Structure 1
Amino acid sequence: MSHSLLRSVRRPARLAGALTGLLLAGGAQAADDKLYLFNWTEYMDPAIIEAFEERYDVEVVQNYFNSLPEMMAKLNAGGVSQYDVIVPSNYYVPRLIETGLVQPLDKSRLEQLDNVMATFQNPGYDPGGDYSVPYQWGTTGIIYNTETFPEAPKSWSLLFEADQNPAHPFAVAGDGQVTMGGACAYLGHGYDCTGLDAWREAAKLLIETKSRDTFSGFTDGTPALQQLSRGVVHAAMSFNGDYLAFKDEDPEGFADTAFMIPDEGAEMWVDTMMIPAEAPNPELAHAFIDFLLEAEVGAQLSNYNYYASPNAAAAPYLDEVLTQPPVQPSDDDMARLRFIPSLSGDELQIFQQLWSEVQAR
């Protein structure tokens, strides 16, 4: 969640491995020769883990979460002292910092830190990069059936205007900020809109959208791709890397599909690496983060995930498909991308109330 945050299952062919990790999740115990990684499911190349284990003569124990609220709940329930490295999305980074659930990085232990692209060295969600290091980045846009919509507008109107799609099922994301961001962008408030007036207008649009006979429901990014391939929906919100991965694994099912970044603006998300405040092995956590920052390892991670690398030094080792759309947006599309704003306090409460009303009506 980009996003991120919606990838409950990444690649069906490797689901068994993810489920094995889930059965082992929870109750991690500190050990000098173990690193406890808390990550999204199916978001790490097993060969990278094996290489790290061999180099440092340690064992990596992988635990998994399927949503950012789940990750936050586990940290608050004691996970802050059970995990060494966590992988939250950008708009949760300020919440983790403000609540004291993570510790500052010791940059003297990160020899490869200069490999991070300039774009991500001083991000708004973590000024100075004092707490987080980027892991992968991507975009959230619209996937659609090109036979159903041969002249689809490059616009959120494909989802929000009945005239653009009067007869075919469609879905929007189940994450409130992702979907409200799309509605805000369509209404001219910008994808990263904040404020009660803009949110109210976006909520009203979404309630109207829900009332259409062709609305199939709130469907998260990866399930939406599965539904698109089966013809259950003809348009939905999803992630560029997941779309490319599914298309590569099922060329026939995704033959007549496309991924679009609407001209009104869309989400650019970054998943990051952070160290919990009471991590059992912070030295090994820094070693692991630095390992992933190595040029060839960073490229290996993106080549596995089909997402863009925030590692500038990784560029020469990336598969060609990762250097062009939809993984690498065009310059025009890049200019339209925005981070989801991080909300807290009264602002977060107001947003959650509005989103609850959208879901309930």
Structure 2
Amino acid sequence: MNKLLAASAILASNLAFAGDKVVVYNWSEYIDESVVEQFTEETGIEVEYATFDSNEVMYSKLKLQQGKGYDIVVPSTYYVSKMSREGLLQPIDKSKLSNFGNLNVDLLNKDYDKGNQYSVPYFWGSTAISYDADSIEAGTITSWKDLWNQQWEGKLLLTDDVREVFHMALRINGHSGNTRNPEEIKQAYETLKSLIPNVLVFNSEAPREPFLSGDVSVGMNWNGEVYMAQQEGANLEYVYPTEGAVFWVDSLVIPKGAENVDNAHKFINFLLKADVARANAEYVGYATPNQAAIPLLSDEVRNNPAVFPSQEDINNGEFHHDIGDEASQLMNEYWQKLKTGM
């Protein structure tokens, strides 16, 4: 994690107006720190910046604090609907977002937030398979099923995300990653039990790190992590599995108990500027939903299939939806059994 963005770090100018701030709770390594500094320089608003490494951690903290403590949070797709349904979010005032029109309309008005009442797309991306191209021959891995090969015993990385891991098993078994069917979820659990001997680590803080250190050579990964690993010199390849990748949108939301609502809107609008969105996208390596930023991107980012998948790969995958409390609870129960070896 960048030192400037360590949990609870404050990135601010000494010239900022006293008490004028915005408190942001975001994923690790998910913003260009120069963008944060630029916002403070332009507005005089201090940015208090804390990070999390899973939706579950973020949600639990917001739930415990009853939506208080932060002005902006960045949940993934299905958590937007879950949090809005539970009264943890407040509506976005789009009249304060002069740059909202920069967004790709194809990523707006989705089922998890019709009309974007509560959310503004920040990044979108995928979870698929990455492998070390120096040690694994191209074409060896094309499917989620390939991760079950005994040659990967004790060598595999999975993201520490219940929905993503269950998505993989559900798709292998011919089901939707958004199923609510208890029998299909149970079947996925049984399928995953046979994979556990291959798993070395669950990692959602920085999945690229075990690849860079040589601890693992294949596993689930986020496309942006692969991009960053490539920037750091790794010969890491990214594969959209034949059964379909996971697709998601991470969005900017304002918690119900936010204390600096006007500043939150200012920060969101700032992030929607084309040049700012470009800087962020080139820093983190995820696809920007900002249509105005696309022409500004370097060819290396814009033409990288790990960052921007083909329409065919998108159509073959699924965006996660809210599956409801009952199915989520069942999946989480099986998840805990998997991770404790039961």
TM-score by length of 1: 0.86
Cα contact 2:8–2:48 (8 A) shared by 1:
no
Number of residues of Structure 1 aligned to a counterpart in Structure 2:
333
Of 287, 290, 307, which residue of structure 2 is paired with 1:327?
A: 307
What amino acid is aligned across from residue 122 of structure 2 in structure 1?
Answer: Y
Residue aligned with 1:61, SS: strand
Indicate the SS of the match to 1:314.
Answer: helix
User: CA-to-partner distance for each residue in 1:119-178, whole Å, 9 max, x for gaps?
Assistant: 21111111111100011111111111333344314111211344xx46672232221111
Aligned mate of 2:283, from 291, 298, 304 = 304
Residue 156 of structure 2 contacts residue 218 of structure 2 at CA under 8 Å; is this kept in 1? Answer: yes
The SS at the match of 2:308 is: coil
Name the Cα RMSD after superposition. 2.1
The aligned residue for residue 285 of structure 1 is: 264
Partner of 2:325: 345
| Distance in 2 between residues matched to 1:130 and 1:203, nearest whole Å | 35
Q: Which amino acid aligns with 1:139?
A: S
Q: Does 1:246 align with 2:246?
A: no
Secondary structure at 2:136 match in 1: coil
Quick check: 2:4–2:33 contact (8 Å CA) kept in 1? no
Provide structure 1 residue ranges, at least 5 long, that are not aligned to the other structure: 1-8, 26-30
- Tell me, yes or no, if structure 1 residue 129 matches structure 2 residue 109: no
Tell me: CA distance 1:227–1:82, structure 2 relative to 1, closer, same or farther (3 Å). Answer: closer
Structure 2 Cα separation of the partners of residues 170 and 149 of structure 1: 16
Matches within 5 A, 1:1-361: 9=1, 14=2, 16-19=3-6, 21-22=7-8, 33-78=20-65, 80-146=67-133, 147-162=135-150, 165=151, 169-210=155-196, 212=197, 215-221=198-204, 223-249=206-232, 251=233, 254-255=234-235, 257-324=236-303, 325-360=305-340, 361=342
CA–CA separation in structure 1 for the residues paired with 2:211 and 2:41: 41
Q: Secondary structure at the match of 1:151?
A: coil
Q: Could you tell me how far apart the structure 2 residues matched to 1:151 and 1:158 are? A: 11
**Which letter maps to 1:120?**
L
CA contact (8 A) 1:135 1:272 kept: yes
Distance 1:34 1:289 in 2: 13
Distance 2:207 2:73 in 1: 26
Instruction: Assess if the C-alpha contact under 8 Å between 1:156 and 1:262 holds in 2.
Output: yes
* Partner SS for 1:143: strand
Q: 2:207, 2:222 within 8 Å by CA — same for their partners in 1?
A: no
Look up the equivalent residue of 2:165 and give its one-letter code: T
Letter of the structure 2 residue corresponding to residue 239 of structure 1: W
User: Are the structure 2 counterparts of residues 171 and 49 from structure 1 closer, same or farther at C-alpha, using a change threshold of 3 Å?
Assistant: closer
Shift of 1:356: 2.3
- Structure 1, residues 10-30: CA drift from partner, whole Å, max 9, x if none? xxxx2x2233x43679xxxxx
- Look up the equivalent residue of 2:4 and give its one-letter code: G
Deviation at 1:222, TM superposition (A): 5.4
Q: Deviations over 1:30-64 (max 9, x none)?
A: x7511111112221212211221122222111122
Report how far residue 223 of structure 1 moved: 4.8
Change (3 A) 1:186 1:50: same
Q: Is the 8 A contact 1:221 1:239 kept in 2?
A: no
Give the counterpart letter for 1:158 in structure 2: D
Match of 2:14 in 1: none
Structure 2 residue ranges without an equivalent (≥5): 12-17
